[in-house]
Amino acid sequence: MRDFISSDYMKIALVCPASLPATQFGGILFLSIHIAKGLSDEGHEMTIYTSDLDFANNASTFNKKLSKKEKIGKYTIKRTHVWFSTFLFFVNPGMYKQMMNDEFDLIHTIGVRSFQSFIATLVSKRKKIPLVIADQGGLTTHPDLKNASVIKRFLIQFQKPLIKFVINNATRVIVANEYEKKIFMEFCDESKITTIRNGIDLDELNSSSTDFIKKYKIQERFILFLGRFHTVKGIDTLLDSISQIKNEYVMTNIKIVIMGVDFGYEQVMERKINEFKLNNKIFLIKNPSREDVLSAYNACEFLVLPSKWELSPLTPLEGFAFKKTVISTTAHGIPYTIQHEKNCILVEPNDSSKLSNAILELIGDKNKSEKLGLAGYNLVHSTCNSKNMVNETLDVYKQLVKK
């Protein structure tokens, strides 16, 4: 390991299953980018080690043409090719050699179940440098762990010793809230765990110049759903709910915009839209660009995110940045991230009737919608932003590297 020098300058390896341009991969991608951007702006040398996931139209497009080394702003992304993948488990063995050939003071890996975290752990042991881990994926709580195919259940069993290996060798575990902390305490001592709330990049969110209404020619006010096309995101509950209230007077000039990328539910979703005769009520946008997502936040009335599972979701926080409130659920880590009747409305998961009532309430009470949205806006500006997250993460790095 390099000697720690008085300027506190550090070389940090961030490890993530996917990075740019695969923005639809989800929260862990953005967390790693926010940390890399924030700390590289402060003068630290930040490198993201990842796969060559491209995400052109699905979750398994790996593109050898993507640059193996790409400079973005002041940080670097290094990619190695994925030999094969199954259920978002991407195997890119070349990352081990790539990381062993480089020098850094500390490794921070996000996504404990990933092959990339396994490689990061091996490298940290070989180089004898601190390993920081964060999950964001639900070690024991994700619905797929119980309701999976035979092949996926086999993979989950295969991952168990891998998970224990990563956690046992971690120097520090970073969690986003108390809910996730309780999960990790099943695997390690509490003294190993530090809580740092997830944060969003407010500067990035204010950078969009796209006019969503003009681009998609939507004349009506609209409610926004943004997420993967997967049952875990509660799209089935949302469709049931909209079918119940589509003929209500307050819904006359209201559209529901559904934006996302397919994770196995797209065909079922489209069939349900037809069966419920919602074609005139729902506007579907597949594989949206990041620019379109940001402009949709800005133009919508509020967000509806009826997830059956989340750990520490970023999407509600991004909506808050545009002073838009959220209807979500009480599932798992959601109430530890956003607060019922303070900045959002939370209902029980899988309850389409209560979801319908919440939607009608906010459509009919614009003052309440704006009040909750403003409270959310204050939350992300005071607490849940990337600057706070990055500063607290840097404090952890400094403690470990000095030791």
pTM, 2 dp: 0.87
Contact 234, 327 (CB under 8 A): no
What digits encode the pLDDT tens for the residues 284-311? 999 888 899 999 999 999 999 999 998 8
Structure confidence at residue 307 (pLDDT) = 95
Give DSSP secondary structure letters for 223-266: EEEES-BSGGGTHHHHHHHHHHHTTSGGGTTEEEEEEE-BSS-H
Residues of the chain with CATH 3.40.50.2000: 11-199+385-402, 204-382
What band does 137 get if pLDDT is binned at 50, 70 and 90?
A: low
- Of the listed ranges 63-67, 76-80, 190-194, 372-376, the one predicted with least confidence: 63-67
Name which CATH class applies to 204-382.
alpha beta
What band does 378 get if pLDDT is binned at 50, 70 and 90?
A: very high
Most confident of 108-112, 133-137, 146-150: 108-112
Q: How far is Cα 398 from Cα 403, in angstroms, rounded to an integer?
A: 8
Q: Is the pLDDT of residue 5 over 60?
A: no
Q: In what order do the strands lie in the sheet with 131-134?
A: 69-72, 75-80, 45-51, 11-15, 106-110, 131-134, 172-175, 193-195
Structure confidence at residue 70 (pLDDT) = 96
How far CA 192 is from CA of 4, 281, 380, in Å, comes to 22, 50, 27
What band does 6 get if pLDDT is binned at 50, 70 and 90?
A: very low
What band does 390 get if pLDDT is binned at 50, 70 and 90?
A: very high
Structure confidence at residue 140 (pLDDT) = 65
What digits encode the pLDDT tens for the residues 72-82? 999 999 999 99
Q: How far is Cα 316 from Cα 322, in angstroms, rounded to an integer?
A: 10
Say which DSSP state 178 is in.
H
Structure confidence at residue 33 (pLDDT) = 94
**Average pLDDT in the chain:** 91
Q: Is the pLDDT of residue 9 over 70?
A: yes
Structure confidence at residue 4 (pLDDT) = 37
Q: Which CATH number fits domain 11-199+385-402: 3.40.50.920, 3.40.50.2000, 3.30.9.10, 3.30.200.20?
A: 3.40.50.2000
